[in-house]
Amino acid sequence: MTGETTRRLRFEDRSFMVVVAIVTLLFGWLISSYFGAILWGLVAAILFEPATQRLAVRLNGRKGLAAMLMLLMIIALIVLPALFLGSSLVQEAASLYERIRTGQIDIPAMINHLRDALPVGVRRFIDRQGLTDFDNVRRMLGSGVASGLQNVASSAIVVGQGAISFIAALGVMLYLTFFLLRDGRRYGELVRSALPLRSATRDRLIDHFLVVVRATMKGTVVVALVQGLLGGLIFWALGIEGALLWGTLMGFLSLLPAVGTGIVWVPVAIYLLVSGDWIKGAIMIFCGVFVIGLVDNLLRPILVGRDTRMPDFVVLIATLAGLEMAGLTGFIIGPVIAALFIAVWNMVIEQRAPAMAEIATTTPEDDELKR
């Protein structure tokens, strides 16, 4: 083979890779409007694929039937309860907003009551610091809470107007989930063979990606569900308005390490104590610390495991950045990208370790001998 022929073949190969990149980008742009549905379908398939394979073995290898049964279970246990929760949440937010608008729930009066209940020394300290503009605080908090509840309540109108898009996205997610549950391993092997990486590096990276997705979902969704449920039940038992709304909010905030659900229950506990309801305040603090708080400390290490455990500050930054970048799906994207970032650099360190060890053990005499 002449040099000219070799150069021509290399040019053709590079041109083909450019075509592949352009077509791939175009396809990504084409399906971008269904990115969330595709992501959730992929995540659902990754989570439930092992169970589907075990079910297929019991059904004498009928993968289609096993995938259909698993999809029906996902709809019954996850999709329908999520739709019911969303509908109930919107109704409760609308009800709370209406009660605030009509004055049945008077937030400025509650703040006045809170100020009057403060000890004299605390009030004098507030006065000395110049923090006496309670009228402005009342207006800001009242309008802020009302505006937030109005946004949640108005989402019912938005969902109603975009019902066709929502149904289409849900259909895409479920349709994709079925095929990935049935043929996921075959598609996975195609992806493995197409990646231009060394087989050992490629397999390790893909396996780590699957482990991270499963661990992230188990360690976030399960903990969020448990903490949100416990928080809502505690609020309901204590007779606090909007237990479903606050429980759902605590479930979402539990995605944030360190602070998490305390953003909701700590101010409520302080208000109960300052307003003189010592028993409810003490119960709230006890349940917040020893019930809601311990769920994260006990469940998350069990569900996530040590291999995929990331520093809390990395999880916090990645989750917040993911939520800002991609909305609700960001709580998956953020931690997964962060975990893959750490995994990739750990692989770089491991690959360079033998060379660095050789450099560290080389003496100046060895360098002179080599020369």
Percentage of the chain beyond pLDDT 90 is 15
Query: Between these two residues, 114 and 347, which has the higher pLDDT value?
Result: 347
CB 228 within 8 A of CB 247: yes
- How much is the pLDDT for 124? 67
Please give the residue that has the higher pLDDT: either 246 or 105.
246
Better pLDDT: 314 or 123: 314
Q: What is the pLDDT of residues 240-280, one digit of tens each?
A: 877 888 888 888 888 776 677 888 888 888 888 877 788 98
Give mean pLDDT, residues 151-173. 66
- Of the two residues 110 and 294, the one the predictor is more confident about is 294
By the 10 Å C-beta count (0-12 exposed, 13-18 middle, 19+ buried), 188 is classed as middle
56-70 pLDDT tens trace: 999 998 999 999 999
According to the model, what pLDDT value does residue 264 have? 87
Query: Out of 80-89, 146-155, 169-178, 200-209, which region has the weakest mean confidence (pLDDT)?
Result: 146-155
At 117-142, the pLDDT tens digits run 666 666 666 666 554 454 554 455 44
Higher pLDDT, 59 or 108: 59
Residue 165 φ/ψ, nearest 5 degrees: -65, -40
Q: Is 133 left (phi over 0), alpha (psi -120 to 50) or beta?
A: beta
Q: How far apart are CA 200 and CA 123, in angstroms?
A: 66
3-state secondary structure of 141: helix
Close Cβ partners of 37 (under 8 Å, ≥ 6 residues apart): 169, 170, 172, 173, 176
Q: What is the rounded distance in angstroms from the CA atom of residue 197 to the CA atom of residue 41?
A: 26
Instruction: Give pTM, 2 decimals.
Output: 0.72
- Written as six digits, the tokens of 56 are 């297929």
